[in-house]
Chain A
């Protein structure tokens, strides 16, 4: 990476002039904490006392026997406070905001996970907080909106564009170009202008650092493969960074939606529908048309439903260091169902993409091999979406009854 955040031509900082000095300030603050050995210690401490770090690495004995191939381990990011890896990034940036002396934070959110995480961080640190969320996502993730509001955040439903994650990012930028003096934008994934991809990866690298140490102490050897789902790429970069210099195959799993040939997916690194472009402040693979207009995306998982992807992952795709695959909505629901039944674990729909791919590959590996799946978040709080995905009749009846109660 060079000083403008380029990874082999991907990345950069394509920002309006009004934000240039804000980014300079942020880059400087981030460099300072990176060079301050006390900072990582402070970060680790807050993550262990406020969240649940180190998160366990769980051996999935039943699934291992079921597939009869590689030994399956699951990195439990679902056990973080607020139920996803998003807590790592948010608490890291929160500490940085404290150092910069800003009093207000804003964030975009897709699934609502990053919004809830940011709202908890803001409550804890005493920051004012506004969350931008596409109107479509507000509708499909209502429980998260409830929690954000309870936590004191203002939730703004974005009605422009496709009304999902990318539109929420645009709106957050519009807020930031007005309020940069008081406000920090807590970007939720390893995307956007430099230094965000590097900074978010840095905070999320705690996942990979722990996982590597844990597998070596449990098994005395490295895994053959590590699987992570890829939305913007933060949980994937987090776990991959622990194994980057090891002979470990890294597999990123994107949202295959209704299938890569259907045009209804969010797969930027393993479909033909994406090409290199510059939007939202950085250069990467985008799902766009030949004019450069962004396309509509689709995924059963709101958190993966995004047109761009981390410039670091685009770089790692081109070098071949990471292999990218897609899992369809249908495969994801099946993998989720199996995980619940066999292990009593409830991964988020986003995370279930990584499980789906790992389950296809596990039987082909030997019993001496190990694989790690990153369970980036928990699914039980996505009960509305998951109940819909299973088309659960009892749940539907309950909701109808509940609605009647409210109507009474």
Chain B
């Protein structure tokens, strides 16, 4: 179970790091190498994004990575094979991240079975609010997988409770309005928001959107369980190449 796995790791570390890749970007070989660098640098869990042609919740950096991966010919089956290889090779929990249409076309139940067979722990689907997720929740539940749901600064206390009741593993708290990839300033309003998140659930909290360096991770330590670094590592790979990833991650905490 993802939640107990996170709790166990948290006994050893003050804050966990979750990183993200878009599968097949810049290439499948590079993707594998990036995962390797990240795991060896001590990342605690990872999101593997299956690219989608209409990623409405993603900002320009991840959007372009989605497009490039698809343009290179990535298929869902390639991504599944990749995940299988990664899970076999590295001993941390991996999650899928993708948009609902990918699950829908694969078949929700088949998708859950596939995840379970491979040994993935859960999935983040940013365009699936719990109200639309009846079949999804059931399928994930049957396979003991964690459907990761999202809190945002616009989510009311009441709704947070409702969402938390559907979620499992951890709750992904979005730091601010907007899409992935732009800067976040952590203000006093932000403290109130985190407090609201904390009060709404006993699940571990992950925080993402705009987390990019050691200062951000330090700031979040003691406030949340997991810091999520998304677009920043893609930017890094674009600018400095795959080899730069390991040192970057080691410098985060």
Contact = CB atoms under 8 A, between A and B. Distances in A.
Interface in A288-310: 288, 290-294
A17 B59 contact: no
A16 interface: yes
Contacts of A277: 101, 104-105
Contacts of B149: 17
A19 B128 CA distance: 12
B154 A293 contact: no
Nearest to B152: A18
Contacts of B60: 160
A281 to B, nearest CB: 7
B102 A174 contact: no
A295 B127 CA distance: 20
Interface residues of B, number: 41
Given A161-B54, A173-B56, A290-B105, A18 B174 contact: yes
B63 interface: yes
A174 B152 CA distance: 15
Interface string B130-156: 011000000000000000011111111
B56 A20 contact: no
Interface string A266-302: 0000000001011111000000101111100000000
Interface string A344-367: 000000000000000000000000
B129 A20 contact: yes
Contact of A278 (B64, B104, B178): B104
A21 B54 CA distance: 22
Interface in B72-121: 75-76, 99-102, 104-106
B240 interface: no
B105 A20 contact: no
B5 interface: no
A280 B67 contact: no
Contacts of A280: 54, 56
A233 interface: no
Q: Taking each of B54, B59, B153, B178, which has the highest tally of chain A beta carbons within 10 Å of its own beta carbon? A: B54
Given A173-B56, A177-B57, A292-B102, A13 B154 contact: no
Contacts of A96: none
Contacts of B174: 17-18
Nearest to A170: B56
A51 interface: no
A279 B131 contact: no
Nearest to B105: A292
B214 to A, nearest CB: 26
Contact of A178 (B129, B151, B179): B179
B53 A20 contact: no
Contacts of A214: none
A292 B101 contact: yes
Contacts of A290: 105
A294 B63 contact: no
B177 interface: yes
26 contacts: A13-B131, A14-B128, A14-B129, A16-B56, A18-B152, A18-B153, A18-B154, A18-B178, A20-B159, A160-B63, A170-B54, A174-B178, A178-B177, A178-B178, A180-B154, A277-B101, A277-B105, A279-B54, A279-B99, A281-B56, A288-B101, A292-B76, A292-B102, A292-B104, A293-B70, A294-B53
Interface of B: 52-57, 59-60, 63-64, 67, 70, 75-76, 99-102, 104-106, 126-129, 131-132, 149-156, 159, 163, 174, 177-179
